């Protein structure tokens, strides 16, 4: 029967991971998948995660199922981290999910169950898997302008004009911080204007927040999500712990559904439990438990925050060094945007042909749309990348 299956193109980001591994060259630079790497190229287990794992190993006496939507203590802890009391807890339905992707998938399914004809407005560009999952679920998507190819910042007027076309029953998907793939973000005045449009149109915001703590700081990165979530009647938030806790493979995420009243909250909560049951039954617990332990223990939390801050500032340092090196080589400020962008990624703003040329000639692996993982750089590779960018005539 399976001969009827069609060939499936591999996700471009994951294909790039494999091509990098297969490249026999000694000097090669991996700027592909969104995984943090330290200066030695390692993706370390964070100190607080190790300590919590140790404690868990000593104290955990059962691995019996948790609830269908996960341990409520995890939901409480992560809601605290993301929203910090901006929305009353009794308005929030929540379900633990396998990673942030699981939260995104369950959010789309919740929308489709509620409104089969909902249109989802997506930034152009957005994380390719948003589009892939929406298309798989047969949901209509409407791109809104986002990236200004000229300035490499946000095309704010274009964005506002496009999301104004949303109607009640539509959803506007927003990146809470550290926009993936561009690295270009809204400031708080612009977020306020986006919120005004959401209130005018009656469209429901869905916020994907996968990089809290990687941009301007834990609180700063959540400020836009808190502003929107506390001002609209309904809102979906998909949060990931993969990056900020460095627990990628543990698949730890949470979907929050802010509801307009207690009845709606109960229906949302029951529907999230139903969706988990249909798709995978109980969500993974190991990562969620570690996150709960870290957030609820003063010493572990302080140590985690300190290490996350080191990660964040190291990426800021790499951004600045790359921008400085490019300024030196080009004699111009045209790469200044690299230091302005925030999070793990920057979109360089060049063609797939030039991206392929840099891979062929210099062993530099970035996504075809010219997204670079800044954490893939170090003091030795920054000059190599800068030289390749200039040699490619970008």
Applying CB under 6 A, which residues contact ligand LMR?
13, 33-34, 127, 129, 180
Closest approach of ligand LMR to the CB of residue 233, in Å: 30
Closest approach of ligand LMR to the CB of residue 105, in Å: 12
Query: In the annotation, is 57 catalytic?
Result: no
Given 148, 222, 224, 243, the catalytic residue? 243
Query: In the annotation, is 298 catalytic?
Result: no
Closest approach of ligand LMR to the CB of residue 129, in Å: 6
Closest approach of ligand LMR to the CB of residue 103, in Å: 12
- Whether the Cβ atoms of residue 99 and residue 251 lie closer than 8 Å to each other: yes
Given 91, 127, 155, 203, the catalytic residue? 127
Query: In the annotation, is 127 catalytic?
Result: yes
Residue among 34 and 176 whose Cβ is closer to ligand LMR: 34
Determine the residue with CB nearest ligand LMR.
34
Given 95, 210, 238, 323, the catalytic residue? 210
Residue among 237 and 300 whose Cβ is closer to ligand LMR: 237
Residue among 129 and 201 whose Cβ is closer to ligand LMR: 129
Residue among 170 and 369 whose Cβ is closer to ligand LMR: 369
Query: In the annotation, is 243 catalytic?
Result: yes
Residue among 34 and 166 whose Cβ is closer to ligand LMR: 34
Closest approach of ligand LMR to the CB of residue 211, in Å: 9
Catalytic residues: 127, 208, 210, 243
């Amino acid at each position: 029967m399976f001969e009827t299956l069609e060939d499936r193109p591999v996700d471009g980001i994951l294909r790039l991971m494999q091509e990098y591994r297969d490249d026999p060259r000694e000097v090669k630079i991996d700027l592909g998948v969104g995984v943090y790497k330290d200066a030695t190229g390692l993706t370390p287990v964070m100190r607080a995660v190790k300590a919590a794992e140790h404690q868990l190993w000593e104290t955990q006496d059962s691995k019996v199922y948790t609830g269908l939507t996960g341990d409520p203590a995890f939901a409480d802890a992560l809601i605290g981290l993301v929203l910090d009391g901006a929305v009353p807890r009794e308005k929030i339905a929540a379900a633990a999910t396998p990673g942030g992707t699981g939260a995104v998938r369950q959010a789309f399914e919740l929308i489709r169950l509620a409104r089969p004809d909902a249109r989802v407005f997506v930034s152009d560009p957005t994380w390719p898997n948003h589009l892939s999952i929406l298309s798989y679920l047969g949901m209509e998507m409407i791109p809104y302008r986002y990236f200004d190819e000229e300035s490499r910042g946000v095309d704010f007027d274009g964005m506002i004009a496009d999301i104004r076309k949303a109607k009640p029953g539509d959803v506007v998907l927003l990146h809470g911080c550290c926009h993936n793939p561009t690295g270009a973000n809204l400031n708080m005045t612009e977020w306020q204007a986006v919120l005004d449009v959401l209130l005018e149109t009656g469209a429901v915001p869905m916020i994907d927040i996968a990089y809290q703590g990687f941009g301007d700081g834990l609180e700063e990165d959540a400020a836009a999500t808190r502003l929107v979530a506390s001002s609209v009647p309904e809102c979906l938030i998909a949060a990931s712990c993969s990056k900020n806790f460095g627990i990628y493979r543990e698949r730890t995420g949470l979907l929050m559904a802010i509801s307009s009243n207690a009845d709606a909250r109960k229906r949302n909560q029951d529907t999230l439990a139903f969706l988990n049951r249909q798709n995978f039954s109980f969500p993974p617990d190991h990562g969620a438990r570690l996150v709960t332990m870290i957030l609820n223990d003063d010493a572990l939390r302080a140590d985690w925050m300190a290490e996350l801050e080191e990660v964040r500032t190291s990426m800021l340092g790499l951004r600045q060094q790359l921008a400085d090196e490019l300024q030196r080589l080009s004699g111009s400020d045209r790469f200044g945007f690299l230091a302005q962008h925030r999070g793990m990624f920057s979109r360089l703003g060049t063609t797939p042909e030039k991206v392929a040329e840099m891979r062929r000639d210099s062993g530099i692996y970035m996504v075809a749309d010219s997204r670079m993982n800044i954490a893939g750089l170090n003091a030795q590779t920054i000059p190599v990348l800068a030289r390749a960018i200039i040699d490619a005539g970008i």
